[in-house]
Structure 1
């Protein structure tokens, strides 16, 4: 979307930068996961020796992959959504289907953002308790706070992506052309449908 609004340009650039960082980070984790699993398989089945650190690092990297990937998927609308309300509106005989769909879209962005903020607040308190302890992981002695950190980072990234979707929502002009529903489907975000 081309615009002269400086807020849209800045948030768009920052959002794209974060998406690029997330892509790079997720790619690196995936490569490292494959390598660690490969080493574990070779050691266990050919050398008859189990590498304890490989199993532990794989488990923790999956956690990082899941929560950072969740934020990435949120922006691109890749999460499962319940779209019964959207489908009912599309099949209804309402004259303002486009306006109702935009309202549902708006409410889903707001509801998802509120949920994420509340979850971030609760999880931050829990994470700080974990950081206050000196507990480490059994094999690699990684502080347990680092193992819980990706949940909070993923939620914060998700909140930022939701704010960008909120800004984009108001920048997006509603259309009334016959193909407008298809256009909005492409532009739709994952927060539609009440996650």
Structure 2
């Protein structure tokens, strides 16, 4: 039930991201057309687009956290036994929760400081700008806590213990290296030469 609620929440975030991106396109493209064709423009275009871009990035980071889409490497963790993977995941989540707390504290302070500050064009409170960090920190912290609870209660599968995945190019390179090792073990010179050449091409 909780997983279904998280999925619906992340889909709502994806819709918000799509909406923000659409508004940005309209504002920026419309402003360009107005300036070149009619010597006019949308006064709030630059400021609103900049704010939407910041919110888009932070909301996208929440969605990526849920999907495990952030940059990382599994070169070491993927080779550990299950116990080692769980220990690394536990340590990683504790560190991420600490960093998220620091980010929340800083964003909240900035939002409070700028609550009465008005944006130069729209006149809106600058707290809206810094509020993106608060929203991200709260959502990311909740996701991390839920994942940590699943880990500690044993409700997480082994395939989920590796939080990030290598790029497709790295996976292809490892596959070619495995093929090379297999061909070498079978003493097949033709396969060794072919796999070696393909692996060199993948590295380049």
What is the TM-score normalised by the length of structure 1? 0.74
Query: Could you tell me which residue of structure 2 aligns to residue 56 of structure 1?
Result: 47
Query: What is the aligned counterpart of 2:76 among 88, 98, 107?
Result: 88
| Secondary structure at the counterpart of residue 106 of structure 1 | helix
| Equivalent of residue 107 in structure 1, options 91, 97, 100 | 91
Flag structure 1 segments of 5+ consecutive residues without an equivalent.
Answer: 1-8, 175-182, 191-195
Deviation of 1:49 (Å): 2.1
User: Are the equivalent residues in 1 in contact too, given 2:100–2:137 (CA < 8 A)?
Assistant: yes
Count of residue pairs the alignment pairs up: 162
Secondary structure in structure 1 of the residue aligned to 2:44: helix
Whose radius of gyration is greater, 1 or 2? 2
Query: What is aligned with 2:106?
Result: 122
Distance 1:53 1:122, change over 3 A: closer
How far apart are residue 55 of structure 1 and its match? 1.3
Residues 166-181 of structure 1 correspond to what in structure 2 (within 5 A)?
Answer: 166-169=148-151, 170-174=154-158
- 1:101-133 Cα shifts (integer Å, max 9, x gaps): 2211221112101211232123212321221xx
The SS at the match of 1:52 is coil
Q: Which one is further off, 63-72 or 163-172? A: 163-172
Distance 1:32 1:89, change over 3 A: closer
Cα separation, 2, equivalents of 1:55 and 1:41: 11
Q: TM-score of the superposition, structure 2-length normalised?
A: 0.71
Report the alpha carbon displacement of residue 89 of structure 1 after superposing the two structures with TM.
5.1
What RMSD over aligned residues (CA atoms) do the two structures have, in Å?
2.0
